[in-house]
């Protein structure tokens, strides 16, 4: 099935005009479209437009997720509270600074031990890569590709970090350089798909 | 949307207004895709939370419902792709060649014009069985195909919905078609080859 066939099929499936009516792809998609539009669908029970209980559950969830002030509606601070609040802010500031120092120190300690990624091969057009920190590698590749003018997208599916990009062909040396830096083979059709996982047992 | 951007106490009111305006329509979409009412309620709620989180990216000149619906569809696709729902993917190009060959033959024949109600019913029942099989095996592909039919999505819109590049989106479409051919083989046979 060629790309053109797929496009004709998609256009007919979406009900767009300007397709070759005699094409078997178009007839197939038209029949499918008609059947999908007329398929039996599950009809949910009628729900009330205004449902206080449902709204309250939404508001409670928004609070849990920090979108709304959790203390909203609680009494205002008394006069003796400002000093304590200031101390709380001062203490939490110190704690935050200590945490940041620890995290940076830990990251620096880990840095020399970071192993480079390993390309495990290409399956079905997808370059399989193993890396200790798949998310970090994904971000690095995306940034590097974008820096050389390639529109790269990141995604995550089933625990695998992925990068998609349509590389302009022929490959510019700068783009080729990014691929070589990560030992990623250049895709012959310019459609780059990379999936990164952590090594087994990590 | 204004309340979302400005923050403050109006947010609670804005969330309630979102629920009142869109819950019913989004819940219906969700139940039709997931077939699970509890999960549908949960996902619609999650959608409203995301609407709040993303309100800065809403353009005031566009319609609100399509924008909210696009957020719901992202969430639905995430849910459909979860491992507990995912069925092992066919390896690339593993479409049964016999089925492929038969479909090509059948699709070259005429589009059926069912002569009687019994035949229409037979076709509808067969389609429903095939659709269920397709939906179970490839839930995200089935959902996206239904949205393409219902909303006439363009390539760019599909790409945005999937969060993938145009090339990966083309491949996704190609997969939809290959998988549909496998799961709808019986229906294609009945529809195009029944005579």
pLDDT tens profile B46-62: 999 999 888 767 776 66
Q: What residues of chain A, 98 to 127, have a C-beta less than 8 Å from chain B?
A: 123-125
Confidence of residue A159 (pLDDT cuts 50, 70, 90): confident
The CA distance from A36 to B131, in Å, is 8
Return the axis-axis angle of helices B117-137 and A24-37, rounded to nearest 10°. Answer: 90
pLDDT at A115 over 50: no
| Helix axes of B117-137 and B185-193: crossing angle, nearest 10 degrees | 160
Q: Any idea which residue has 């495990």 for tokens?
A: A120
- Average pLDDT of the residues of chain A: 77
- Residue B122 has phi, psi (to 5 degrees) of -60, -45
Q: How many residues does chain B have?
A: 195
Element (H, E) at A10: helix A3-13
What is the percent of chain A where pLDDT is above 70?
Answer: 75
Q: Find, among B65, B62, B23, the residue nearest to B46 by Cα.
A: B23
Could you say which residues from 44 to 73 on chain A have a Cβ atom under 8 Å away from some Cβ of chain B? 44-47, 49-51, 54-55, 57-59, 61-62, 65, 67-68, 72
- Residue A192 to residue A94: CA distance in whole angstroms: 46
pLDDT, tens only, B64-102? 888 899 999 999 998 988 765 443 344 444 455 555 555
Q: Are A126 and B92 in contact (CB under 8 A)?
A: no
Looking up tokens 């590097």 gives: A144
User: ipTM value of the model?
Assistant: 0.76
Contact B3/B58 with Cβ under 8 angstroms?
A: no
Does B19 contact A27 at a Cβ distance shorter than 8 Å?
no
Q: Closest residue of B to A13, CA-based? A: B149
The single residue listed with the structure tokens 């179970």 is B136
Residue of higher predicted confidence among B102 and A164: A164
* Token output for A197: 């996982």
Q: How far is B59 from chain A (nearest CA, A)?
A: 21
Residue A54 has pLDDT above 90, yes or no: yes
Residue A111 has pLDDT above 70, yes or no: no
CB contact under 8 A, B148 and A193: no
Q: Is B60 helix (H, G, I), strand (E, B) or coil?
A: coil
The tens digit of pLDDT for each residue in A136-151 reads 899 899 988 988 888 8
B42 close contact with A: CB closer than 8 A: no
- Mean pLDDT for A146-157 is 85
Is the per-residue pLDDT at A113 higher than 60?
Answer: no
**Inter-chain CB proximity B24 and A166 less than 8 Å:** no
- What is the radius of gyration, based on Cα positions, of chain A? 27
Q: Which residues pair with A128 in a beta bridge?
A: A121, A195
DSSP string, A47-105: --S--HHHHHHHHHHHHHTTSS-TTTTSPPP-TTHHHHHHHHHHHHHHHHHHHHHHHHH
pLDDT at residue B21, rounded to an integer: 92
pLDDT at residue B146 greater than cutoff 70: yes
Residue whose entry in the numeric block shows the structure tokens 């079905």: A124
Distance of residue B61 Cα from the nearest chain A Cα, in angstroms: 25
pLDDT of residue A108: 46
How does residue A57 score in pLDDT terms, banded at 50, 70 and 90?
very high
Task: Answer whether A155 touches B (CB < 8 Å).
Answer: yes
pLDDT computed for residue B89 by the predictor: 41
């Amino acid at each position: 099935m060629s790309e053109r066939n797929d496009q004709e099929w998609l256009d007919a499936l979406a009900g767009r005009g300007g397709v070759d009516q005699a094409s078997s792809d178009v007839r197939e998609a038209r029949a499918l479209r008609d059947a999908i539009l007329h398929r039996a669908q599950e009809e949910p029970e009628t729900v009330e437009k205004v449902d206080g209980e449902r709204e309250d559950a939404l508001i409670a969830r928004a609070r849990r997720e920090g979108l709304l002030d959790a203390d909203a509606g609680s009494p205002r601070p008394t006069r003796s509270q400002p000093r304590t609040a200031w101390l709380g802010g001062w203490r939490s500031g110190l704690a935050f600074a200590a945490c940041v120092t620890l995290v940076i120190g830990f990251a620096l300690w880990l840095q020399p031990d970071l192993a480079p990624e390993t390309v495990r091969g290409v399956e079905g057009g997808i370059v399989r890569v193993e890396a200790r920190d798949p998310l970090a590698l994904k971000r690095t590749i995306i940034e590097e590709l974008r820096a050389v003018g390639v529109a790269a997208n990141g995604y995550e599916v089933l625990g695998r970090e992925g990068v998609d990009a349509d590389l302009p062909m022929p490959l510019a040396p700068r783009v080729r350089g990014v691929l070589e830096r990560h030992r990623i083979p250049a895709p012959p059709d310019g459609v780059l798909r990379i999936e990164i996982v952590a090594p087994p047992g990590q | 949307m204004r309340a979302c951007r400005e923050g403050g106490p109006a947010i609670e009111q804005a969330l309630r207004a979102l629920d009142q305006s869109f819950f019913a329509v989004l819940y219906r979409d969700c139940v039709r895709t997931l077939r699970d009412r509890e999960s549908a309620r949960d996902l619609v709620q999650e959608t409203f939370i995301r609407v709040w989180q993303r309100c800065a990216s809403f353009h005031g000149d566009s319609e609100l419902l399509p924008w909210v619906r696009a957020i719901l569809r992202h969430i639905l696709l995430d849910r459909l792709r979860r491992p507990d729902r995912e069925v092992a993917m066919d390896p690339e190009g593993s479409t049964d060649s016999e089925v492929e060959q038969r479909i090509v033959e059948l699709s070259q024949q005429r589009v059926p014009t069912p002569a009687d109600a019994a035949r229409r019913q037979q076709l509808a029942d067969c389609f429903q069985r095939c659709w269920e099989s397709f939906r179970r095996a490839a839930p995200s592909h089935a959902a996206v195909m239904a949205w393409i039919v219902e909303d006439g999505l363009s390539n760019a819109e599909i790409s945005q919905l999937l969060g993938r590049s145009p090339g990966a989106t083309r491949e996704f479409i190609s997969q939809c078609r290959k998988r549909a051919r496998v799961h709808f083989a019986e229906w294609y046979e009945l529809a195009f080859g029944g005579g």
